[in-house]
Amino acid sequence: MKDHESRRRFLSKGAMALAGVPFLPQAITAGKIKHEKAKSSFRSPVKGRSQGIRFAAIGLNHGHIYGQVQAMLEAGGELVSFYAIEPDLIERFQKRFPDAKLASEEAEILEDSSIQLVVSASIPVERAPLGIRVMQHGKDFMADKPGITTLEQLEEVKKVQQETGRIYSIMYSERLRNKATVHAGDLVQSGAIGQVIQTIGLGPHRMRAHTRPDWFWDKKNFGGILTDIGSHQCDQFLYFTGSTDARVTGAQIANVANKEYDHFDDFGDMNVLGNQGTGYIRIDWFTPDGLDTWGDGRLTILGTEGYIELRKYTDLAGREGGNHLFLVNQNDTRYIDCSEVTLPYGEQLTQDILNRTETAMTQDHCFLATELALKGQAMARKITFEENW
């Protein structure tokens, strides 16, 4: 009997104590996450394939070329021809796109007046010189990132772009070819999280060293880790904060686990400050083989009225596939499946080529994202993790 009375007193005291905690009921209900599928806000201006463009590919050295070509095909474009010198890359490309003609030389494409756009994923250091030749032949150009690997290249590309009036577009695919990131842009523009204050972009990548070509290990070929992978994150920082001017406030790089390659870094991070927000960027080559994809790319967008978190390529909580978006604001907490969102970049670029507009990406934005990555690389402090540091 005494035991029962003691238990009643304990429960009664506990209930009184909980009654004095006003946030408990809200905390319980806030844990219920709403689930939904995203609906695209983009409406295609392309009316059938007659509105597409004729384009060609030069340089197949990175697998991103397939996403670049696919973006233009989805917009009704016609892949006319391609040029490369590596037999294995040619064979793979021909299997994927058997209707495209293999050009005998680069000039065959550049001098074909019917071709309006050239896309390229050549060795990165070769992209800017190629883009200059393309623009000087009266064509527009779409490069894989990094589209430019040195500040000197950047100045020359900007000069020729101004002289020719052609489009020099860099396909920052972690935004432009990711459905969750595209939908995040729609949400931000609708005011879902208020004014954006900061982005935190994480770009981990899997190494698989045995699959990498020789040029991969020397930063003179790709500009360095911040120039290369970091350009994705610089693009997203500018886009989501709406910054039109920005600078790098700090950067560092390291070669932690690949010391046999003297001109390579496997870790880097940088801080950026724009006229509309701030950003932190971290990139690395340490994705373990146990992950189900090449990298757990993430983006957090902090606003004055909430935040968005993207798990672009995988969800460690167990949801299948990629394109996962989490939205928390003053109204609720939502998980949004973005797998059916439309990717507008190819069609927007098509319209820009046809109408000489800047809907896919302004030229200033394209160059500023690259400039931030290049300056971050140039100023980065080389750090080590020695035992007696």
The two three-digit tokens of residue 168, written as one number: 């020099």
Query: Which residue from 289, 261, 259 is spatially nearest to 384, judged by alpha carbons?
Result: 259
Distance CA 327, CA 329 (A): 7
Query: Which residue from 324, 338, 329 is spatially nearest to 39, judged by alpha carbons?
Result: 338
pLDDT of residue 20: 41
The topology (CATH level 3) of 49-171 is: Rossmann fold (3.40.50)
C-beta separation of 234 from 372 below 8 A = yes
C-beta separation of 206 from 295 below 8 A = yes
Helices 127-136 and 151-164, interaxial angle, to 10°? 10
The two three-digit tokens of residue 333, written as one number: 């907490």
pLDDT in tens, the chain (389 residues): 444 444 444 444 444 343 443 333 333 344 578 888 997 766 665 544 447 899 999 999 999 999 999 999 999 999 999 999 999 999 999 999 999 999 999 999 999 999 999 999 999 999 999 999 999 999 999 999 999 999 999 999 999 999 999 999 999 999 999 999 999 999 999 999 999 999 999 999 999 999 999 999 999 999 999 999 999 999 999 999 999 999 999 999 999 999 999 999 999 999 999 999 999 999 999 999 999 999 999 999 999 999 999 999 999 998 999 999 999 999 999 999 999 999 999 999 999 999 999 999 999 999 999 999 999 999 999 998 875 45
Q: How far is CA 17 from the centre of its chain?
A: 50
Rounded to whole angstroms, what are the CA distances from 322 to 36, 297, 363?
15, 10, 30
Q: What is the 3-state secondary structure (H, E, C) of 159-201?
A: HHHHHHCCCEEEECHHHHCCHHHHHHHHHHHCCCCCCEEEEEE
Element (H, E) at 334: strand 333-337
- Which of the 8 DSSP states describes residue 276? T
Check whether the bond before 146 is cis (ω within 30° of 0). yes
Query: Which residue from 39, 89, 85 is spatially nearest to 62, judged by alpha carbons?
Result: 89
pLDDT of residue 256: 95
pLDDT of residue 43: 62
The topology (CATH level 3) of 175-344+376-382 is: Dihydrodipicolinate Reductase; domain 2 (3.30.360)
pLDDT of residue 31: 55
Distance CA 110, CA 119 (A): 12
The two three-digit tokens of residue 363, written as one number: 């030229």
Q: The sheet that has 168-171: what strands, in order across it?
A: 101-102, 78-83, 54-58, 117-120, 140-144, 168-171
The two three-digit tokens of residue 385, written as one number: 């993790």
The two three-digit tokens of residue 39, written as one number: 């609906």
Task: List the chain domain ranges.
Answer: 49-171, 175-344+376-382
Distance CA 365, CA 375 (A): 15
Rounded to whole angstroms, what are the CA distances from 55 to 35, 72, 146, 357, 376?
40, 8, 21, 18, 33
